A and B are shown apart, each in its own frame.
Chain A
Amino acid sequence: MAALSNHPDDTASPQDSARDGAGVHTVDLTTATVRTLNAELHAPTARRYRVLSPRGAHAVAVGVDDELDIHVEGDVGYYCGGMNQGGTIVVDGSAGPGLAENMMSGTVRVRGDASQSAGATARGGLLVVEGTASMRCGISMKGVDIVVGGDVGPMSAFMAQAGRLVVCGDAGDGLGDSIYEARLYVRGKVGALGADCIEKEIRDEHRSELAELLTAAGMTDLAGDPAALAEFRRFGSARRLYHFTSERSGSY
């Protein structure tokens, strides 16, 4: 039984990659494999990359460990930008599950929508989803900043440990369930909060933080609009589940 493809055995011919006059290395996934792409990104011969025709491929631009600019032109499958470390990855399309999972640093931006578990366990960097994100956005996030232009689905920021999640649209039920120290900002409607997640006062330092995050995400219109900023609410941990006790068994 074979593993999923991308193996070197499937390597495409060299003409699938090309470099233009501006030093941009282009990889066309119509003919090149994701293995070829990732191998190139792990031992880069350029600083800027274009990835054409990803057609929903999984594991596009994973394990990047360099300050590369990578522009993916089309939709990607699972785990795009996974464990990114320093790369600036832009997806001109939508992304499947596990977008930028466990990112350490750098930026991943999706122009379209993201499927579930976007930014899962990510420890640093900035993840921007310009459209909407599905369930479990920011699940178990560990320091990443996530800015979503639209809505997030249910159980977002589940067991979120650290970092900030900004939702410019609505958040589904179970937001921040079992949250630790992450901070959540939501502009739109919020469904039922998850266990131990509560609304918290939003003070000036939080509005400044919010404006900084929106600015970093390129959403400068919002960042510069005090009325819009005033619509955001802040959520975080009540810290009632930090120590196990059977008297709270209904919450577990």
Chain B
Amino acid sequence: MSTSDGRGLRESATFDRATIAAIQHAAETGVYDIRGWGAKRPLPHFDDLLFLGASMSRYPLEGYRERCDTDVVLGDRHAERPLHLSTPVTIAGMSFGALSAQAKESLGRGASEVGTSTTTGDGGMTDEERGHSKTLVYQVLPSRYGMNPDHLRAADAIEVVLGQGAKPGGGGMLLGQKISDRVAGMRTLPPGIDQRSACRHPDWTGPDDLAIKILELREITDWQKPIYVKVGATRTYYDVKLAVAAGADVVVVDGMQGGTAATQEVFIEHVGIPILAAIPQAVQALSELGLHRKVQLVVSGGIRTGADVAKAMALGADAVAIGTAALIALGDNDPRWAKEYESIGSAAGFYDDFQDGRDPAGITTQDPELAARLDPLQGGRRIANYLRVLTLEAQTIARACGKGHLLHLEPEDLVSLTIEAAAMARVPLAGTSWIPGRTPL
């Protein structure tokens, strides 16, 4: 890239400014960068797909008039009480600890208002979270921080987490500056120390064991609650098959764009695959088992708009989960905090230091004064508004494709703008019938 000031300076594509800054940071501090957010590099994504709206050969539904339903049932394979959600857009797992109590409450209020679910995170379930979430998914994580059978029983569903898209195989580290007395107490560790979240479960070591672990969870909760299994997107085809074999009612696949509260930059950007490449693998695995739409597929990692929701579902997902987008809806990276972002070395639109607890927006912090900036009632309204917009946008597209339910969207409704996305999403390049690797050129 050349600068525009006429001096003919040229920035290296290999050693761009971000790379230069990273090398300088490493040399100065001897520590790699740990940050929040998800992958920031350009990746094949839903933007590379387009819908084929109806015209002559397909028959659209009347916008604003004809019904396009959005409700979904999750977890009816084995559980006596599956979840019935009004919209397929759910809130992904984010911990109290990573997020302030006000942020968690806001997510619960917003999700409950529109009839969808929220999810706990590493560190357990808070009473406030349970109280404000009509439908709450309780995560069973490798660290088992705060793991409590009362919370298993109080949850509406249980999610066994093997990994997340930002760091498949990586575990986690909640840095000491975010460990308040309350967070420390919930995790049975001293305040102020860095808390490692294990990358492996302590009491099972493979898919055969997981089947027995799931059996135990079902027994403890009397077979009432759906059991999800969440994986970071990597070897998705095999992971989904094994999760199903282990007895999962719902499989959650999180692409590498999925956010994190604190992970090494090198991990976020270089491990895992984009959600676009993962969904078709998951759907193939489920279809081969004869369980597509019977074991539900929830996908996450870079869902931002109703178009993303619709595309994920057209590729075969039953629901999606949002994390980063929900935080933005709450006020993360809001320009109103521009000066404060600058004062801590960041900028509105760039802030990703969720690990250090100084979030001006009061979302990814345990500082009482910062956290008090987020009003849970207002936050809940913002989340509800955003979830409604996502749902309405997805409905708009579905109607244009002639679908009376979001679940009726199908790969045939999609084409790709790029060869890469066509190969990954397994839909034809726009204007052709070519799916690289699947159909002849």
Contact = CB atoms under 8 A, between A and B. Distances in A.
Interface of A: 1, 3-4, 6-8, 34-35, 38-39, 42, 58-59, 62-63, 65, 77-79, 82-83, 85, 97-98, 101-102, 104, 117, 120-121, 123, 136, 139-140, 142-143, 158-159, 161-162, 178, 180-181, 242-247
Given A4-B247, A34-B219, A102-B149, A180 B189 contact: yes
A78 B202 contact: no
B9 interface: no
A216 to B, nearest CB: 21
Secondary structure dominating the interface of B: loop
Contacts of B215: 3-4, 6, 58-59
A102 to B, nearest CB: 5
B216 A1 contact: no
B24 interface: no
B212 A63 contact: no
A102 B291 contact: no
Interface in B221-267: 221-223, 244-245, 247
B271 interface: no
B285 to A, nearest CB: 12
A-B pairs with the 6 shortest C-beta distances?
Answer: A63-B220, A3-B247, A98-B203, A83-B149, A121-B144, A242-B193
Interface in B148-177: 148-150, 152-153, 173, 175-176
Contacts of A98: 203-204, 213, 216
A156 B211 CA distance: 24
A247 B219 contact: no
B353 to A, nearest CB: 15
Interface residues of B, number: 44
Interface string B194-217: 101010001110000101111110
B419 interface: no
Contacts of A102: 144, 147, 149
B149 to A, nearest CB: 4
A140 B145 CA distance: 9
Contact of A140 (B144, B175, B190): B144
A181 B190 contact: yes
B203 A79 contact: yes
A34 to B, nearest CB: 7
27 contacts: A4-B211, A4-B214, A4-B215, A38-B222, A42-B222, A58-B212, A59-B212, A59-B216, A62-B220, A63-B152, A65-B153, A78-B216, A79-B203, A97-B203, A97-B209, A98-B213, A98-B216, A123-B147, A140-B198, A142-B144, A142-B188, A159-B196, A180-B190, A242-B190, A242-B194, A243-B194, A246-B31
B194 A139 contact: no
A63 B149 contact: yes
A137 to B, nearest CB: 11
Contacts of B203: 79, 97-98, 101, 117, 120-121, 139
Contacts of A97: 203-204, 209
B186 to A, nearest CB: 11
Contacts of B220: 38, 59, 62-63, 82-83
Given A98-B213, A120-B144, A181-B190, 7 more contacts: A35-B223, A58-B215, A59-B212, A63-B149, A123-B147, A123-B188, A140-B143
Nearest to B289: A1
Contacts of B244: 1
B244 to A, nearest CB: 6
A102 B219 CA distance: 15
Nearest to A42: B222
A110 B218 CA distance: 24
Given A3-B78, A63-B220, A83-B152, A121 B204 contact: no
A58 B212 CA distance: 7
Contacts of A243: 176, 193-194
Contacts of A63: 149, 152-153, 219-221
B59 interface: no
B437 interface: no
Contacts of A83: 149, 152, 220
